[in-house]
Amino acid sequence: MISLRPVLNVLGFLYVGLATAMLIPAIVDVAQKNADWQAFVFSALLTGMVGMLLSLAVGGALLEGLDTRQTFILTTLAWSTLPAFGALPFLWLGIDYADAVFEAVSGFTTTGSTVLTGLDSLPPGLLVWRSIMQWMGGVGIIVMAIVLLPFLRIGGMQLFQSENSDRSEKIVSRSVELIRLLGLAYVFLTVLCIASYLATGMDLFDAFNHALTTISTGGYSTHDKSFGYFTNPASGWVAIFFMIIGSLPFVLLIQALRGHPILLWRDPQVRALLGFLALVSLTMTVYLGINMHFPFDDALLKATFNVVSIVTGTGYAMGDFSEWGAPVVGVTLMLMFVGGCTGSTTGGIKMFRFLVFFGTVRAHLRRMVRPHRVMSEEYAGTRLTQDLSFSVLAFLVVYMGSVGVITVALSFFDLDLVTAISAAATSVGNVGPGLGPVIGPAGHFAPLPDGAKWLLSIAMLVGRLELFTVLVLLDPDFWSK
């Protein structure tokens, strides 16, 4: 029988931490003489009380007592319940329940899809809360990758572990030091991003909010026009740089900050990601210059910004790229399936998985030509096992199948094909805006039926949990002794 006491204890601490974070937008509203601070204070009191009672009820079971199965349960419960408490301030301010949960889920999963309009006139505390949810979600994603994904064997994080051969039951204590360094690096990069935005002329409020949602590759903005609101091209290039930073493996970023930047470049998935972004951005730049008659500097900025934003799953928009012609729409839909690197804040199909997939296909083709030849694929000097290759291929099948099933389900809500398939792809991939006049970069998800919003909320959670984290809980063997 799996003991849930340590799981509930950790959940209690997480709720208390969330309650503490709710006080930040309350302080912002008080400073701005906005009465909405009450929504955050009462939400914090309720969330904190639940958290403390939960920890007290289980008698303070220790975090070090978590084994593999308990960690799977904790991860799923944390990502499922934190948005429920995060939605409380939205409910207090009169936002519909389905919309409030959708906004909170989109925030914590760093998807960036929104149901809110008139962002420029919303209370400052609410805007800050949206950014904080994404910032906390971003660091939570990396922690999940470090602690959990090595046991799923679908993400490649086991290749970054010095204790790859140690599959002992106690898994959290081995990662505590790495998580501490991760937190310091995450805060440092956030502060650096704030300073960079300020240097481009952003005011402190915009710089703070956009730094939180850039490093987390979340994409919530304080303006309806998203990054199209800012006229200084330097702000766009700063965003591009830090979106790319957020899409790199944080394990390697930590090593780079500690004096070993060459380790980043040696990672094949980093080189593949940067090369892919450069190729697609330059191709789209040429297209915008020739077909849309954009000046070169404007075409380069907008093409690079939107390509990086989509691939990293940030979801910022600079202009309505759905109006740039059918080829751009087609490329955008393809990019929704491509993600950043393993161990980053991004969603989608990570670059590591594509490398394993193409390596497996290449090896299969070679075996067709020379059936008796023994071949092995390597990644950064490490041999890729058949188990890892099979796990990645299984993930790709389940990922594409999930997008297909959700697309069909959305069609029952009378959504057109472009809206349905882009909504499914952007939700499972945690990208942000979809395609079409309703949920495109110039639109929002508010017009969708409540049933579609609930379905997409589930899709965002399942996508953020890397699919198999949820599926493994449905296996009867998981619950057996």
Is 118 annotated to bind a ligand? Reply is: no
**379 bridge partner residues:** 382
Tokens linked to 56: 């007290």
> Do 429 and 109 meet the contact criterion of CB atoms below 8 Å apart?
no
**338 bridge partner residues:** 349
Dihedral of the alpha carbons of 62, 476, 105, 10, in degrees to the nearest 10? 0
Quote the CA–CA distance of 219 and 110 in Å, as a whole number: 7
Quote the CA–CA distance of 332 and 374 in Å, as a whole number: 39
Is 231 annotated to bind a ligand? Reply is: no
Q: Quick one: which of 324, 316, 331, 260 has its CA closest to 294?
A: 324
> Do 103 and 116 meet the contact criterion of CB atoms below 8 Å apart?
yes
Tokens linked to 88: 């409380």
Distance linking the first and last C-alpha atoms of the chain: 6
The structure tokens 């804040």 sit at: 345
Q: Quick one: which of 184, 279, 307, 190 has its CA closest to 242?
A: 190
> Do 301 and 318 meet the contact criterion of CB atoms below 8 Å apart?
yes
Is 331 annotated to bind a ligand? Reply is: no
**378 bridge partner residues:** 383
Is 312 annotated to bind a ligand? Reply is: no
CB atoms within 10 A of CB 169: 10
3-state secondary structure of 349: strand
Is 314 annotated to bind a ligand? Reply is: yes
- For residue 81, the surrounding DSSP H or E stretch is helix 68-86
Quote the CA–CA distance of 346 and 69 in Å, as a whole number: 25
CB atoms within 10 A of CB 103: 28
Dihedral of the alpha carbons of 351, 354, 356, 357, in degrees to the nearest 10? 170
Any long-range contacts for 283-289 (C-beta under 8 Å, 24+ apart)?
A: 284/328, 284/331, 287/324, 287/325, 287/327, 287/328, 288/324
| Sequence-separated (6 or more) residues with CB below 8 Å from residue 430 | 109, 110, 111, 112, 313, 346, 347, 348, 460, 463, 464
Is 164 annotated to bind a ligand? Reply is: no
Bind-site residues for K(+): 110-111, 218, 314, 430-431
Bind-site residues: 110-111, 218, 314, 430-431
